[in-house]
Every structure is written in structure tokens, then in C-alpha cells.
Amino acid sequence: MLPGLINTHHHFYQTLTRALPAALNKPLFPWLKTLYPIWAGLDESMLFTATELALSELLLSGCTTAADHHYVFPDQLTHAIDIQVDAAAQSGMRVTLTRGSMSLGVADGGLPPQSVVQQETQILEDSLRLIKRFHDPAVGSKRQIALAPCSPFSVTSELMSESAKLAQQYAVRLHTHLAETLDEEAFCLQHFGMRTVDYLEHVGWLSDHTWLAHGIHFNPEEIQRLGKAKTGICHCPSSNMVLASGICPVKDLEAAGVPVGLGVDGSASNDCSNLMMEVRQAMYLQRLKYGAEAVSHKDALGWATQARHDC
Ligand SMILES: [Zn+2]
């Protein structure tokens, strides 16, 4: 008997753009640049179907709790999270729907095209509206809202800071992609003059209310700081292998006190939403990094259910 598995990072909308020929065999930045213009065409009916499909696949693989990171809000899809709330309610799953965002387009030195970025006032107003309308803070709640500016290369540091203030005010969690690739680290050094964890601290995010997708490229000192702050990390092994981003140092993070979870990540970099398969991938990828005797099936199931350091 196993408890329901917990998926801590996904992009439900990407179930519609899996295995796209133009995006194959590329690392993160060129892969994103290929997909952004396609994602700009998403509409409400597509997102509802994509969310239904992703939740169904998760359920079939033993997952009963899922977090989604939706950050694409073109003009025809400004109420994306409302659509996801409806689809999730039909599925019966426990969800954390994150109000993602992108505000730093190519015109201002970011990676995404202007067609998929929003004004920051609009992002913050919608974040507040969604918290007030949909966030249920009760223990065992079936629906929570979190705030999730997409990544250092697609939002400004001001939006990161303002999101942190709003999250603190309304006691909701914060989520973003961090330390996924060396390209991202170089971007942070070039644009902010600091490494990723320094940036995280600078914008007020280094806390136990934050969980991060990927968390690969940390030095030992940064791992200790993340552990001290109890900032969570979502390990996404399949996505990290598809994009050749690197290997998350899960055992080092756990030893430092970091809560570690698992995520299938979006289907554009995984091809499916099968969490039990992700448990298997995590076990073998971490075994490759740390050795056969250092990582067991119990470790991997622990990542998908409860953080091992709490056991
Ligand atoms: Zn992701």
C-alpha cells in the first residue's frame, strides 16, 4: 500500500505541445524560444483540455496532489487560473495552482517575446484577486493558490520582491524555476551581478515559504543556506535529462536540511505526466550520481510522498 503521490512541479498546458519536432534536441533557452510563440496561441478551451489531460495522467500514475505552474497569459487567456480551478474541481484532486507570470520580454533584455509578457500591475492585481477568490488555507485544503514569477530571465527583480510581499501578507507560498541551467546562472551574473541564491535572498525569497523547481547548479555554501532557510526543492529528473540541464544534488540538499519533492515538469520536456515513472527516474538518476548503495526505492518514494529528513 502506498499513499497518494505528490507532484510538486508541472505545466499542465504543455500536454498540448509534447514532442514538438521543432523543439526536440535543444537545451533550455533555444527550446523555450521555439515554444514561446506557440504557447502565445493558447486559449481557454485548450487550457481546460490540457489541464484535464494532465490531471488524468497524474491520477492514473498514483498521484493525488499536484502543483501547477501556469505562467502564460496571452490576451485571450487572462483568466487562466480560473479555468484551471474549474478543471481541477472536476478531477477531485488536491491542487496548488500557482499564478505564474512573465514580465521581462526581449525588448527589456529578457528571454520571452513581448507577446507572452504582461504588465506588472496587471500581474499583481490578478494575483491578489486569485488569492482572495480561490485560496483555501485550511489544513487538508483541496485548493491553494501560490505566486510564481517564472524565472530570473523572464521577470524583473521588482516583480519578485512585490510577489514576496504579497505572499507574506496573505500567507501563500512562492514558487519559481531556479538554478536549472548554467545559462540561467550566467544571466543572473550578467544582469543582476550575483549568483542565483544571492538573487533569491536579495528579492526576499530565501525562506520556508518558497519551493524551487530544479535546483541543480548550487555550490556547497549555497546548499547550506537553502537548508538553513528550509527552502524546498522540486527534483525533475526526466526534464533535466531531456534538456541535459544537469543533475540535482538531492542527497547533499537533504543532508543540509532541504525538503525535497519530485515533479514531472511540463510535458514539453517530459512527454507524459506519469509520477510513478518519475519516482523510478529519480531513483536511478540519483543512484548514478551517488552510487548504488546510497539511493534506495524508499528514498525515491519518500521524495514523492514526504521529505525524508522529516522521517
Ligand atoms: Zn518547469
Per-residue pLDDT reduced to its tens digit, 224-251: 999 999 999 999 999 999 999 999 999 9
Residue 290 · residue 251 · CB < 8 Å = yes
What's the predicted TM-score (pTM) here? 0.97
Four-residue CA torsion sign, 30, 32, 36, 42: positive
**pLDDT for 309:** 47
Q: Is the pLDDT of residue 311 over 50?
A: no
Question: Domain range for residue 36?
Answer: 5-306
Q: Is the pLDDT of residue 33 over 50?
A: yes
Cα 255 to middle of ligand 1, angstroms: 24
Neighbours of ion ligand 1 (CB under 5 A): 213, 265
CATH of the domain at 253: 3.20.20.140
Cα 36 to middle of ligand 1, angstroms: 13
* Rounded distance between C-alpha atoms, residue 307 and residue 258, angstroms: 8
Cα 214 to middle of ligand 1, angstroms: 8
Within its chain, how far is the Cα of 2 from the centroid?
Answer: 24
Per-residue pLDDT reduced to its tens digit, 174-229: 999 999 999 999 999 999 999 999 999 999 999 999 999 999 999 999 999 999 99
Cα 123 to middle of ligand 1, angstroms: 19
Structural domains counted in the chain: 1
> Is 237 a domain residue?
yes
The SS3 of residue 146 is strand
**pLDDT for 306:** 85
Cα 221 to middle of ligand 1, angstroms: 25
Cα 266 to middle of ligand 1, angstroms: 6
Cα 150 to middle of ligand 1, angstroms: 8
Per-residue pLDDT reduced to its tens digit, 16-27: 999 999 999 999
Within its chain, how far is the Cα of 277 from the centroid?
Answer: 18
At 243, list the grid cell. Answer: 534538456
* Cα dihedral 299→303→306→307 (10° resolution): 80
For residue 132, the surrounding DSSP H or E stretch is helix 120-134
At 262, list the grid cell. Answer: 519530485
> Is 286 a domain residue?
yes
Q: Is the pLDDT of residue 310 over 60?
A: no
At 244, list the grid cell. Answer: 541535459
> Is 311 a domain residue?
no
* Rounded distance between C-alpha atoms, residue 237 and residue 19, angstroms: 17
> Is 164 a domain residue?
yes
